[in-house]
């Protein structure tokens, strides 16, 4: 289990003493998730926020018409959770499952507050994480308003150059907000133009 991934992440934003780091880690649970297994189901209470040590998770909702919409991919070094559910204690609308075999560290809901009490500096860490998420999701919303599907795909390729090749393309379609059929046609067009 490579907890250094998490510590390195934390160190980018706050400084903890070795003792604090140890305490910090003690709040987490280690878990392995096999490909296609779920970490969270829609309509249940999100039991923890997860930090991905390796592998890749995906977060998505299924809407009233039965369509999947991927909100987030979480490869190594990413956090993922249904924050609404974690914070409110109510059932959320996010599914989280594993795209490949994945190892995570879980920070259970009920120990979050204890962590903040015991190491107040971590409050800052999570504030910064929240801010960063907010900024990127805000940008994504704006992009959805102002960009065409093709442009959103190009942007996605730029932003996630590593995972774009490993993902089934129906996932990419879902992330950028088009049907798999349309995505396929779109890609064909792009390839045709490129030569």
Which residues form the interface with a second copy (CB under 8 A)?
61, 63-65, 67, 69, 71, 83-84, 87, 93, 116, 120, 123-124, 126-127, 130-135, 137-142, 144-146, 177
Cα(38)–Cα(120) distance, integer angstroms: 32
Which residues make Cβ contacts (< 8 Å) with residue 107, sequence separation at least 6? 27, 28, 48, 49, 50, 51, 115
Least separation in angstroms between CB 40 and DNA: 19
- Left, alpha or beta for 80 (phi > 0: left; psi -120 to 50: alpha)? beta
Cα(195)–Cα(183) distance, integer angstroms: 19
> Using the rule CB under 7 A, is 150 a contact of DNA?
yes
Residue from 37, 136, 139, 169 touching DNA (CB under 7 A): that is 169
Residue from 83, 149, 155, 164 touching DNA (CB under 7 A): that is 149
> Using the rule CB under 7 A, is 177 a contact of DNA?
yes
Least separation in angstroms between CB 27 and a second copy: 17
Least separation in angstroms between CB 18 and DNA: 42
Query: How far is C-alpha 6 from the geometric centre of its chain's CA atoms?
Result: 15
Q: What 8-state DSSP symbol labels residue 107?
A: E
Q: Rounded to the nearest 5 degrees, what angle is found at the Cα of 10, between the Cα atoms of 4 and 14?
A: 140
142 binds, among DNA, a second copy, none (CB under 5 to 8 A by kind): a second copy
137 binds, among DNA, a second copy, none (CB under 5 to 8 A by kind): a second copy
Cα(164)–Cα(5) distance, integer angstroms: 22
> Using the rule CB under 7 A, is 106 a contact of DNA?
no
Contact residues: DNA, CB under 7 A: 65, 148-150, 168-170, 177-188
């Amino acid at each position: 289990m490579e907890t250094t991934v998490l510590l390195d992440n934390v160190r980018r934003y706050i400084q903890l003493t070795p003792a604090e780091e140890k305490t910090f880690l003690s709040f987490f649970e280690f878990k392995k998730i096999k490909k296609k297994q779920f970490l969270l189901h829609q309509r249940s209470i999100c039991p923890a926020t997860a930090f991905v040590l390796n592998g890749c998770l995906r977060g998505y909702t299924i809407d009233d018409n039965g369509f999947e919409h991927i909100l987030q991919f979480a490869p190594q070094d990413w956090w993922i959770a249904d924050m609404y559910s974690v914070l409110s204690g109510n059932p959320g609308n996010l599914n989280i499952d594993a795209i490949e075999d994945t190892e995570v560290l879980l920070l259970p809901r009920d120990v979050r507050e204890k962590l903040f009490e015991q190491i107040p500096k971590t409050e800052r860490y999570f504030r910064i994480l929240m801010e960063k998420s907010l900024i990127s999701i805000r940008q994504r919303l704006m992009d959805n308003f102002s960009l065409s599907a093709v442009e959103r795909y190009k942007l996605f390729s730029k932003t996630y150059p590593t995972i774009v090749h490993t993902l089934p393309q129906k996932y990419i379609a879902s992330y950028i907000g088009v049907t798999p059929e349309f995505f396929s046609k779109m890609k064909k067009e792009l390839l045709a133009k490129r030569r």
